[in-house]
Structure formats: structure tokens, C-alpha cells
Chain A
């Protein structure tokens, strides 16, 4: 049995016990939070529909395959599988698009395949860089972003390359 099998019930129990000790309404809190989760599903669903439609069109037309072949040398340079490049390209711009592309990769190659795992690790360990920068700095009225964009992109690149590496060796 893997440790991660016990992780989920263990975490749930830990959180419930901590809340009980503080005399909180555990069951009520779970449902209150659950509402947020469902709202999140409704928020991302239209984006998932639009992007998976476009992706399916790309695959059926043969464009996705051609694109992957074209990008293979660039991908090899960074050490990531060429199939995951579409994910790398949309990740900094849109979280729901990345979720759709990642789901598509995991569905096509299998969630336990190397490509599927690489996609999952990439999704789990990177963020929507440009969105984050524009929201944070936009809300605070920051005009000069200085080196925030290059530094964040360097972090992203390191993340993508190490995701591919750890999917291979772990």
C-alpha cells in the first residue's frame, strides 16, 4: 500500500478533529466549502468546453500531430516531451485552458503514462503567470513591473523542465 492512499482520509480526519476541538460545526463547514467547489466547476466548465472542442478539432485535422513534430527539437532542448508543449504554451496565460489541455493529455496518453504524469506534475507545480502578474499589480496600481515577468518566466521554465525530469525518475 502506498502512503498516499492513507493521506486523503488522514488529512480529512485531522482537519475534522482540529475543527471539533475548536467547537466548530464540522459538517456545516464541509458543506459551505463544498458550495465553493461546485461554483468553481461551473466557472471553468464553459472554458473547458470551448478549449476541448478546439483541441479535438486540431487533433482530428492532423494539425496537432504536425505541430508536435514541428516543436520536437525545441522541446528536446529543454528536456520535456514534445506532446506536453501545448500545455507549456497555454499555462502562463489561462488556468482553465491549461486544465483542459492537461486533461486532454492525461486522457489521450493515460493518467499513469509518462506524458500523463508529466502533464499532471506541470499543472500541479506551475501557475498562470501572466494572469497573476496582471491581477496583483493591476489591483495595486503598479505601472512599472521591473523584473517580475522575466523572473517569473525563469521560474516557470525551471518548473517545466524539472517536471519532465521528475516524471522520468520518480
Chain B
């Protein structure tokens, strides 16, 4: 619903500005924008196809599960309640691993499964601290391979589409740290 308001607002604002400022070529601009979107979609299709194939390969080859096992000691420390429940831990580590590999579509169902299981165990409709932590870790997006963005950069002619990797890692680390610290701090206020 928010996007409906944003989109309508954008078009309305453009029309008002166009009428007041007398900017020519609004109809032409609309067509240009629509055409550019399709060009973008077409040039993105190749690398998105490739990376989604790579993702499936990681899953079938067992590399995804191996990464998940590598992470479980750290996750156990962050989620002390979930640690004792293998089902929660399974979805949780799957969710984090999928996020790390830039597989948002695979991460969402696993994350939902983890929250559902936590809710069933907690037996309340209020978010637990560990659910809030899971939300923060998902919205702060810890990605090792931001494939969609790299695909986008490549399609727009970047010299080295993947050279933003170190910056993305550092930025993700900053936002996840800030999120975890905020969650730990706010936990005390929200009794």
C-alpha cells in the first residue's frame, strides 16, 4: 500500500512541476523510462539466470549445508533459547546461510519457518528477543555475494562489477553490528 502512495505521489509531483515550470517532453519521458526498464530487465536476465543456477548448484552440491554447519556455534551463542531446539536451529542456520550467499528467495521461507517455530515454542503473540534479533539480522542483510547488484553494475557497464565486495562486506558488518547492539539495548527498555 505504501508503494501505491509513493508511485501516485511521484507522478503527481512530476505533473505539478511540469505544469509550473513548463518543462517539455513529459510524455516522451514516460516512454523513455518504460523502455529503459525493459532494456535493464533484458540485460539483467543473463546474470540473474547464471547466479540462480549457481545457487541451485550450491544447494545440490551440499556447500550450502556445510556453510550452515560452520556457522552453528556462532548462531548458538546469539540464540541461546533456539540452540536447544534442532528444528529452530536448522531453519535459522539455513536462513542465515541463504542470506550470506545472496539468495533472498531461499532465505525468506526458512526465516518464516524459524519465526513460526519460535512462536510455537514461546506460545505468545508478542515477539521474543530472539525473533527481534532474527528480524534485525535479516533486514541488515549480511551478504557475501551481492549477486543482483553485481549483475546490475555489470549490465550498466561497470569495469569490475564485483569490486564493491569489500565495501559491501564492511557496510553489512557495520549495519548488523549496529542492529544487534540496538536490539540488545532496546531489550532493556521494552520489558
Contacts and interface: CB of A to CB of B under 8 A. Distances in A.
A77 interface: no
Contacts of B168: 121, 124-125
Interface string B42-76: 00110011111111111111110000000000000
A135 B40 CA distance: 28
B57 A29 contact: yes
For the complex, would chain A's binding face be called helix, strand, loop or mixed by DSSP majority?
helix
A71 interface: no
B18 A163 contact: no
A106 B182 contact: no
Given A112-B158, A166-B171, A103 B30 contact: no
A88 interface: no
Contact of B52 (A25, A37, A141): A37
A56 B36 contact: yes
A141 B118 CA distance: 11
B57 A61 contact: no
Nearest to A67: B13
Given A38-B45, A158-B178, A52 B23 contact: no
B139 A103 contact: no
Interface in A61-81: 61-63, 66-67
B6 A151 contact: no
Max count, chain B CB within 10 A of own CB: residue among A29, A54, A55: A54
A58 B10 contact: yes
A95 B59 CA distance: 24
Sorting the interface of chain A by its residue count into under 10, 10 to 19, 20 to 34 or 35 or more gives: 35 or more
A102 B149 contact: yes
Contact of B127 (A24, A62, A146): A146
Contact of A125 (B16, B136, B141, B182): B141
Contacts of B26: 57, 60-61
Given A30-B57, A57-B10, A126 B152 contact: no
Nearest to A12: B54
B122 to A, nearest CB: 10
B53 A29 contact: yes
Given A103-B152, A106-B153, A147-B189, A140 B115 contact: yes
A123 B148 CA distance: 9
B166 A142 contact: no
B121 to A, nearest CB: 11
Contact of A34 (B50, B111, B136, B163): B50
Nearest to A17: B61
A93 B18 contact: no
The 7 closest A-B pairs by CB, nearest first: A33-B56, A155-B179, A56-B33, A37-B52, A19-B61, A159-B175, A124-B146
30 contacts: A2-B160, A15-B54, A15-B63, A29-B56, A30-B54, A30-B57, A33-B53, A35-B52, A38-B49, A48-B37, A57-B29, A58-B14, A60-B28, A62-B21, A93-B2, A106-B158, A121-B164, A124-B146, A126-B140, A127-B104, A130-B2, A142-B125, A142-B127, A144-B127, A150-B182, A152-B136, A155-B139, A155-B179, A158-B175, A166-B170
